[in-house]
Amino acid sequence: MTYLLVYQIVLSLALLTIIVLDQKMIRTQKKKIVTLQEEKNRMSLKYQKAYEHDQRSNFRIDLNEKDSKLIIESIDGDLEHKLKGKVIGGYIDNISVSGIKFVCPYNLPVSSNIKVKSVFTLGTEYFELDAVMVRKEENVKNKQRGYGIKFVDVPHRDQGRLNMEIRRIDSERRRKITRIS
């Protein structure tokens, strides 16, 4: 009888220990789930901000400061052609098949009909596209200016390559977010 009682006590303690350890493991797993859900929500918000509906006609993506340069082809009023061929370094903030938002520290007179060549690499593709500056945004805090650059007379082949690279980048970003969730 004593052995039976000792056996029940040991068995009860063993089961109690298993239950306590399982509860601890469950709490740990719940904490991991909450952390992953928070990360998923944070990434979803980041993704939504990056892909908010744009009123312009072409699909556009953010490039997070992709290095680029503009080469000035002509500026109305620059009769001596002092600025022709000048290279302006900066970065692309966002891009579509119809143009880019180019950011640089230079103050250019957009009202002077500036024709440029936009030079950049997207993925493995190199582009040199004729363009015009159509607008300017000034950021006083960081002394940067954003220029709306509209591509002009883009050959169909280059337009197709650009569209493919933009879609490929968007697809990769979507896959990353899908993997996280």
Nearest to 69 by CA among 115, 133, 121: 121
Q: What global pTM score does this model have?
A: 0.62
Residue type, 51: Y
**Cβ proximity of 165 and 125 under 8 Å:** yes
99/167 Cα distance (integer angstroms): 15
Which residues pair with residue 91 across a beta bridge?
A: 67, 103
In this structure, the dihedral spanned by the alpha carbons of residues 11, 14, 18 and 24, taken in order and rounded to 10 degrees, is: 140
List Cα–Cα distances, 138 to 37, 43, 58, 143, in angstroms: 38, 29, 23, 8
170/165 Cα distance (integer angstroms): 9
Other beta carbons within 10 Å of 169: 17
79/170 Cα distance (integer angstroms): 43
Nearest to 77 by CA among 40, 101, 118, 113: 113
Which two tokens mark 45?
């918000």
Work out the angle between the directed axes of helices 2-50 and 156-180 (0-180°, nearest 10).
160
Which two tokens mark 109?
């007179």
Residue holding tokens 């082809």? 73
pLDDT (tens digit per residue) in 21-61: 999 999 999 998 888 887 777 776 655 555 444 445 677 88
Tens-digit pLDDT string for the chain (181 aa): 788 888 888 888 988 999 999 999 999 999 988 888 877 777 766 555 554 444 456 778 888 778 899 999 888 776 667 778 899 999 998 999 999 999 998 888 777 788 999 999 988 899 999 999 988 888 756 778 889 999 999 999 999 999 999 899 888 888 877 766 5
